[in-house]
Amino acid sequence: MISVEEALARLLAPLEALPAEQVSVADAMGRVLAEDVAARRTQPPFAVSAMDGYAVRAADLGHIPVSLRIVAEIPAGAALPRLGVFAPPLRESPANVSLLLALIVAAGVQLLLFRTRLGFELRAVGLNPAAAEYGGVAAGRAQALAMALSGAVAGLGGVNFVLGYKHYFEMGFSAGAGFLGIAVALLGRNSPIGVFFAALLFGALTVGTSSRQLDPSVFDPELAGNLTYIIQGLVVLFVGADLLVLSVYRKARGR
């Protein structure tokens, strides 16, 4: 019976002669998994337990070269046109038609939530599922529908990145988007119109605090990424502060 290391070595041996651009992402994951298995031999039990989640996540995309994270380029006919084609001032900008699509979707969600019965049911379930169900709303159905619609709208963000900006699919491109979306929704007060302007603010923060936009003689480029998170955290903190202050004030009055 052969060891796990030998089995992985035999599995990956035929790929040694291939150029890097032809090696699959699965190969890169397998290599990191092999390193993980080998490391387990010398690690104490608590370290091995901590490494389990690392292996399940296919071993951290940071260890996989960018050339291997790119799965495939999209056909030229599937790429969304850049807005610079229609507006010369945006000729050097990566802004594309997906921006207009986002505006249409935001307006549609606004109408759906605040001008239709379905939207009323979704908001009622979000505020108080028990009360909504008591009023005749199928809470489970509404929650499932809300999740499906949310996933569809979130997928449009990938349309911008893959079809409008990069023109290829890259693993891990959406990392951190979930947390950022929560912060944007919080700042926008869960209103599609508010979310639109909040997204513009966070986008400006992300681009404006990048190392390419800051003078290295004034601000250390290594701190640029952290500056983005600090500003975003402060924005979320101050937006939620009013709820905390009101809660403390009401409890103080109750006493």
Written as six digits, the tokens of 138 are 């199928």
To the question of pTM greater than 0.75 for the whole model, the response is no
Instruction: Report yes or no on 69 lying in a domain.
Output: yes
Q: Which position has the higher pLDDT, 114 or 28?
A: 114
User: Could you tell me the residue range of the domain that residue 40 belongs to?
Assistant: 4-73
Instruction: Report yes or no on 8 lying in a domain.
Output: yes
Instruction: Report yes or no on 246 lying in a domain.
Output: no
* Alpha helical stretches, state H, 116-191: 117-127, 129-134, 139-159, 177-187
Cα 21 to its chain centre, rounded Å, is 26
Task: Please name every residue paired with 82 in a beta bridge, in sequence order, or none if there are none.
Answer: 96
Instruction: Report yes or no on 107 lying in a domain.
Output: no
Q: Which position has the higher pLDDT, 151 or 176?
A: 151
CA 9 to CA 140: how far, in whole Å? 49
In this prediction, residues 60-77 reach a mean pLDDT of: 62
For residue 115, pLDDT over 90 is answered with yes
Instruction: Report yes or no on 248 lying in a domain.
Output: no
- What pLDDT shows up at residue 16? 53
Tally of domains in the chain: 1
Task: Please name every residue paired with 96 in a beta bridge, in sequence order, or none if there are none.
Answer: 82
At 126-169, the pLDDT tens digits run: 999 999 999 999 999 999 999 999 999 988 888 998 999 888 88
